[in-house]
Structure 1
Amino acid sequence: MGRFSDNFQRGLYAFMAGRNGMDALARYALGAGIILTVLDFLFGGLLLSVLSFAFLAYALFRCYSRNIGARATENARFESWLRKPRAVLARLRGRWARRKDVKYLTCPQCGQSLSVPRGKGTLRVTCPKCHAQTTVKS
């Protein structure tokens, strides 16, 4: 049994040599295909079936493609497109983690997000962007 698994592993390595493999875009396409497949099982419909098949086929195409340069360019474009939503989510996660220690407010003049420590009473806050002063209860 050990010889079969060794041969299979060597054969798989040889097959994948020079191929793209799983990158971020392929993982997202695979995840979207799986989610659409589950939705297709629950609700049915030709559109969900076609979309799930298309996403799964695209993920396989990306994994087994030998044109690594083109796939790397596509993946870099996809990663740059995801950079801003990921930063927004990271900022929201940080705000949620500090919600008991920090109170968040917006400047009435310019809309800049400001933070003050909680439990310090009434504070006079100066906006670093427009230098407007406001009084808030923390």
Structure 2
Amino acid sequence: MIIRTLIAATLIGAAGLAPALAADEPQVVRQDLMKKNGKDLGVLVKMVKGEAPFDAAQAQAALTEIHGVASEFGAYFPEGSETGFDTEAAPAIWSDRAGFDKAVAQFEADAKTAMDAAPADLDALKAVFGPLTKNCGACHETYRLKNS
């Protein structure tokens, strides 16, 4: 009886660890970071399009979080993480590492510029939003697999 209980506890414990281990995978972390960026960009897009009123505090919070993502994002593309976990990372990340690293550095610089600008009105937000999203689009064009 004790042995069965120990075996059951071990199996349940191992099953419980599987999701925690997957969350540490670079593919999972970078997908979570991009989801966070998508949420923050969504807040900004609504303001820029006039679908939501400009809110300086919300804009700054979104820009700060985007900069945080930009600061750590590049670290989650180590060799060996090219596949798995439904990654959308294009092979060009590893075949053109210098270009990818340059794009990530530009993303971080644009995000920092936007965050540091601390836009106080909609026009100021629009001024930093364009360069930031242009960078995102350019990186996705080259370094992200297209959805079929």
Answer yes or no: same fold by TM over 0.5: no
More strand by share: 1
Greater Rg by CA: 1
Higher RCO (CA-CA < 8 Å; seq separation 6+) = 2
Q: What TM-score comes out, normalization by structure 1 length?
A: 0.33
User: How does the TM-score come out when normalised to structure 2?
Assistant: 0.32
Structure holding more helix per residue = 2
